[in-house]
Amino acid sequence: MNNYDKPHEVEWNEEKINNFWDYFVMNNGLLEFSFARETGKDIIKRVKKYIKKDGNNLDYGCGAGYLMDYLFTEGIACWGLDSSQKSLSVIEEKFKDNKLFKGGILTDGLPNKNIEDNTFDFLFSLETIEHILPEKLKSTLGEMRRILKKGGYIFISTPSNENLDKYKVICPDCAAIFHRVQHLNFFSKEKLSKIMQKVGFNTIKCESTLLKIDAGPYGNLINNSPYARIFL
């Protein structure tokens, strides 16, 4: 019997997730659709008043560094953190001569031994929490709380009320079924607010909204996807 006769859901683990994103960051065509590349300008405009230019800022799940591109243009220094070593290699080469680039940090378990408690003034996490293994979601958010300074700020974006099944595809070779961009979790603003409260955050604002797309194939459009982003 051909393997294709046995459709099955991908059983995601850390290794498979990293392999997925290692490929993504090396595919320039896919990178054109990077969320941070498309909407980073609008995001920074919304939160700039909370950011210290000379503070310790972190892009948690930085990918190819498109958000940092925009931050550096605004004179804002930043670190990048990712579980993909290839992503870190990309940003380290890309920003090697930029004094505002503080360095790349590899995700190294929870807690991350490379980061001390109360390190960062501001933490970005764009389109990251939907990719985390469900059993590690709470501990990952707790890790963000641990490395954020008391009085610091976190900005999270994630699709709002996404129907995960709607975006699943099947591999024609092995019949593995998976979300086309590896989403494992979905959130409403109520669900996200509740989770964040449980791990010790106080919410300033949590809403579903649309974003202006400033770059990429759909530049100068408003993001009117069926699942607008939640911001917290």
Residue-wise pLDDT for 88-106, tens only, equals 999 999 999 999 999 999 9
- Tell me what pLDDT residue 224 has: 46
Within-domain flag for 182: no
Residue 139, domain member (yes or no)? yes
| Cα(105)–Cα(70) distance, integer angstroms | 19
Query: Under 8 Å CB-to-CB from 151, ≥6 apart: which residues?
Result: none
- Domain of residue 215: give its range: 13-157+188-231
CATH code, domain carrying 214: 3.40.50.150
Residue 213: Cβ within 10 Å count: 20
Per-residue CA distances from 124 to 38, 196, 206 (Å): 16, 14, 15
pLDDT band of 18, cuts 50, 70, 90? very high
Assigned domain for 78 exists: yes
**How crowded is residue 196: how many other Cβ atoms within 10 Å of its Cβ?**
20
The reply to whether 174 falls in a domain is no
Cβ-contact 106, 114 below 8 angstroms: yes
> To the nearest whole number, what is the mean pLDDT of the chain?
90
Band of residue 232 on the pLDDT scale cut at 50, 70, 90 = low
76 DSSP 8-state letter: -
Whether residue 165 contacts residue 177, with contact meaning beta carbons closer than 8 Å, is answered with: no
Residues whose CB falls within 8 Å of the CB of residue 171, separated by 6 or more in sequence, listed in order: 177, 178
Residue 167 included in any domain: no
Give the predicted TM-score (pTM) of the model.
Answer: 0.90
Domain count of the fold of the chain: 1
Determine the pLDDT at residue 185.
97
The contacts of residue 186 (CB under 8 Å, 6+ apart) are 130, 159, 161, 162, 163, 164
Domain membership of residue 1 (yes or no) is: no
Say if 21 falls within a structural domain. Answer: yes
**Is pLDDT above 70 for 229?**
no
Chain-centroid distance, C-alpha 18:
13
pLDDT of residue 89: 96
Close Cβ partners of 43 (under 8 Å, ≥ 6 residues apart) = 36, 67, 124, 126, 155, 157, 211
